[in-house]
Chain A
Amino acid sequence: AQSVTQLDSHVSVSEGTPVLLRCNYSSSYSPSLFWYVQHPNKGLQLLLKYTSAATLVKGINGFEAEFKKSETSFHLTKPSAHMSDAAEYFCVVSVLNDNTGKLIFGQGTTLQVKP
């Protein structure tokens, strides 16, 4: 069975400091992994995706994530947080070899950015 676990439900950082949002996954097949962001009262927006190419993936707004198969992790990082980064972040796994083909969303991590 496939699953995704976001290790922190809430992360608080100061503006200008690094951001780390942690995600572990479980998959019987080769996974595709994604990070989405949701700002208040908005829909979700794709930040970045991993689909078995380079293990270090760069996304929008300075975010990047590294796929580590040995650790079954796909953590999201950003060198310097901005106030506009405050939002909820979702780690998502898609198993293309699975007949269901559904996307499985993590429970989300709320990022708070303090001035």
Chain B
Amino acid sequence: KAGVTQTPRYLIKTRGQQVTLSCSPISGHRSVSWYQQTPGQGLQFLFEYFSETQRNKGNFPGRFSGRQFSNSRSEMNVSTLELGDSALYLCASSLFSRGGTGELFFGEGSRLTVL
């Protein structure tokens, strides 16, 4: 069974640009969550989608957005990039919404560098 796939794995952008990251969950999983990981702030929850609906949202500005498609694949978008957006963005899929059993399956992440 294929795991969670995130693309691209690495990318470099400049301030003011926008970026779109993609996540394909494990087959059959309908929940996709996104996390930002930085050395200073650790892992922070961005949002969760379940059956194409946003179920939860973390404390991030509106520049961070996401969506989920009917095949459960998800994308997140960051507009007007700032230096502080440099981070590893992790996607996790699960069978249940709202953390459920807490058993998340993570992808290897997309490492974004903003110059």
Residues of A within 8 A of B (CB): 32, 34, 36, 41-46, 49, 51, 90, 92, 94, 96, 100-103, 105-108
Roughly how many angstroms separate A45 CA and B108 CA in the complex, as a whole number?
10
Q: How extensive is the interface on chain B, given as a class?
A: 20 to 34
What 1/0 mask marks residues of chain B from 5 to 38 whose CB sits below 8 Å from any chain A CB? 0000000000000000000000000000101000
Q: Which residues of B contact A105 (CB under 8 A)?
A: 35, 42-43
Q: Is the CB of B101 within 8 A of A103?
A: no
Interface residue from B56, B58, B108 paired with A43 (Cβ < 8 Å): B108
Roughly how many angstroms separate A96 CA and B55 CA in the complex, as a whole number?
14
Interface residue from B45, B58, B100, B106 paired with A44 (Cβ < 8 Å): B106
CB-based nearest B residue for A108:
B42
Q: Which residues of B contact A42 (CB under 8 A)?
A: 108
Residues of B within 8 A of A (CB): 4, 33, 35, 42-43, 45, 48, 55-56, 58, 90, 92, 97-109
Roughly how many angstroms separate A102 CA and B92 CA in the complex, as a whole number?
13
Q: Is the CB of A49 within 8 A of B104?
A: no
Given contacts A34-B102, A44-B106, A51-B102, 8 further A-B contacts (CB under 8 A): A32-B102, A90-B43, A92-B102, A100-B98, A101-B56, A102-B58, A103-B45, A108-B42
CB-based nearest B residue for A51:
B101
Q: Is the CB of A46 within 8 A of B108?
A: no
